[in-house]
Chains A and B, each alone.
Chain A
Amino acid sequence: MSAVTLQDIVKRFGSFTAVHRTTLEIPEGAFVTLLGPSGCGKTTNLRMIAGLLDPSEGEILIGGKRVNDVPIHKRNLGLVFQNYALFPHKTVAENVAFGLKYRDVPKSEIPAKVQAALELVQLPNVGDRYPKELSGGQQQRIALARAIVIEPDVLLLDEPLSALDANLREDMRVELKRIQERIGVTTVFVTHDQSEALAMSDLIVVMSEGRVEQVGKPEEVYNTPASEFVANFLGASNITEAKCIEHGASVVVEDATFGRVTVPAAKAPNLTGQGPAKLVVRAEKLLLSKTQASEGVISVPATVETVDYQGQAVRYFVRAGEAQLQAINMIDERPFAAGDAVHLHLRPQDCAALPG
């Protein structure tokens, strides 16, 4: 059964439609990420699940029950905000205990529950401090403890890592996932950060301009993007105009740069037949080499135009015929230099195809 269901949801603000008709199932116990750029409707969806916004049309079900008319304070959800939203006039322990006061928890059991939650987020000794005495990362852990101590039916996380600096963000990512797995709570996570989404999610919902572009496991949306938007938003892709010339057991597309490419049928699920198509080549699947490729690997001569050195990896912009392409390669000793003549190696099975 789905923990949360959005059924034909539409959300309009005046004449602006923030969320177009959307139906979404969030499985019990899953970590589901709503991913997209700002203004794509991901936060609007989250706020509708939370009860902070009312949908213009459609139904929201939590645990199979329609909650459209259930006010936020009766929905039993855990909500974590980007800016922590801890109560500054209450101690950490009082913050965490806040939700317990409104539940049938005997007063004598509250301190133990608070302590258990603080231990879960690995901050057992800060109960009598005030939020402003803690670092940003610690405050976000407390916000998480406050949200999970009430044993919510669904945990809603609105860009909880965005206010933290880069290193801390990666630590918190691992930590958050560990806690979520430990307590097994259904989680809806909103982010614009593709690496967070890929690292943490059981299921990613990619959104753009109020519409769901693709729903799938991280490796599905990454390797088999369902649209040009998804291909571009998750990592860097080269998308070229192509033509599908064979559509059967295998799919063959032809473009000006790589010639005939046999794409696995599973990686062209939306391509319905012969005709215009698009070839999707991920930047990290395009390898630069001094030598020709071996049998079964496409090899195209190219010239390096720009080198963007990033330490463990390097991003090249190369020209192959008419096309400018992007390639991200791990560094093997020294990177190529601008002006070098190289061969681009590409395995056909790493390509995907979209309708043209």
Chain B
Amino acid sequence: MSVEAREARQPWILLSPALGAVLFLLIIPLMFIVVYSFWLRSAMSADQVGFYLDNWQKALSDRFYRDILLNTLKIAAITTLICGLMGYPAAYFIARSKGNKMILLLLLMLPFWISYIIRTMSWINILGTSGALNTLLMTLGIIGEPMQMLYNEATVILGLVHFLLPFMVLNVYVSLEGIDTNLEDAATSLGATRWEAFTQVTLPLSLPGLAAGGLLCFVLGAGTYITPVILGGPTDAMFANLVFEAIITQLNWPLGSALSLLLLAVLGVLVAIYNRYLGMAQLAKGLG
């Protein structure tokens, strides 16, 4: 074999385990889901194999599904906005701090050492009727009766922000780290105040990081299943809960498949828009 042919083969040899995993664990199962979505659930017998559009028709036309999809996107959008507003200053602080940067980054990663479910459930101990906050307020005599703070949309968003904030901070941090601090000094020497230097130079240059963090928060937030189950009320179901309901509770695999592909398509469009304007390379930077 020629040297060129050997060199051309090498990347594929190195990539093959990962490609194999993606193919057998993601692509092929996804193909099954696609196929399932065209089958038909029958109440009495086995699912009918074939090419039926009933599930898709239901998923796309039923108001119930549409409302929950829109609500899911709304919750994801609000969560992303809050993460951006809270995460940017934190990332800026870490990026500009001297010396203890590593400790701050470690603290940022610390929550990942605890299961996401445990972290989400911890809010019950804080906000529940006999939780820390109610106990404190009652001890201080500010309220007489425990307040019902849990199981609404706000607590779902709170739980999502708690979960997703580190992703935002990390992405913004990485983009801020890549900006030469001399740029702000140059801007101030030319007459800009510190704030003007930030808005004119640092902020625009860090937008790719903010967008990457935003995309991650949005996609992870819109696909969440656990948070509304633990912290949401009966009316706060998000789209992933519908998929769970259809497949696990109703054993309606064809409908569940169509619903999950619908969510995948909506989020896929968002990723495609992001990729069109900013490119996936920025996302890889933030994750790496």
> Chain A residues in contact with chain B, CB under 8 A?
50-52, 71-79, 81, 83, 85, 87-89, 98-99, 101-103, 143, 146-147, 150
Contact = CB atoms under 8 A, between A and B. Distances in A.
A10 B191 CA distance: 26
A102 B194 CA distance: 13
A103 B191 CA distance: 8
A88 B205 contact: yes
Given A52-B185, A79-B185, A85 B180 contact: yes
A85 B191 contact: no
Interface in B60-109: none
Contact of B190 (A71, A89, A102): A102
Contact of B188 (A72, A83, A103, A147): A72
Interface string B181-199: 0110111111111101000
Given A87-B201, A88-B205, A89-B205, A79 B183 contact: no
Interface residues of B, number: 18
A247 B118 CA distance: 87
Contact of B187 (A83, A98, A150): A98
24 contacts: A50-B189, A51-B189, A72-B189, A73-B190, A73-B192, A79-B186, A79-B189, A79-B190, A83-B182, A85-B186, A87-B183, A87-B200, A87-B201, A89-B201, A89-B205, A98-B190, A101-B191, A102-B192, A102-B196, A103-B191, A143-B186, A146-B190, A147-B189, A150-B191
Interface of B: 180, 182-183, 185-194, 196, 200-201, 204-205
Contacts of B201: 87, 89
A85 B200 CA distance: 14
A99 B180 contact: no
B241 to A, nearest CB: 42
Across chains A and B, which 3 residue pairs bring their CB atoms closest together, nearest first?
Answer: A102-B191, A99-B190, A79-B189
A99 B182 contact: no
B183 A73 contact: no
**Most B CB within 10 A of own CB, among A74, A87, A101, A150:** A87
Contacts of B188: 71-73
Given A72-B185, A85-B180, A85-B183, 17 more contacts: A50-B185, A51-B189, A52-B185, A71-B188, A72-B189, A73-B192, A73-B194, A74-B191, A79-B185, A81-B182, A89-B201, A98-B192, A98-B200, A101-B191, A102-B191, A102-B192, A102-B196
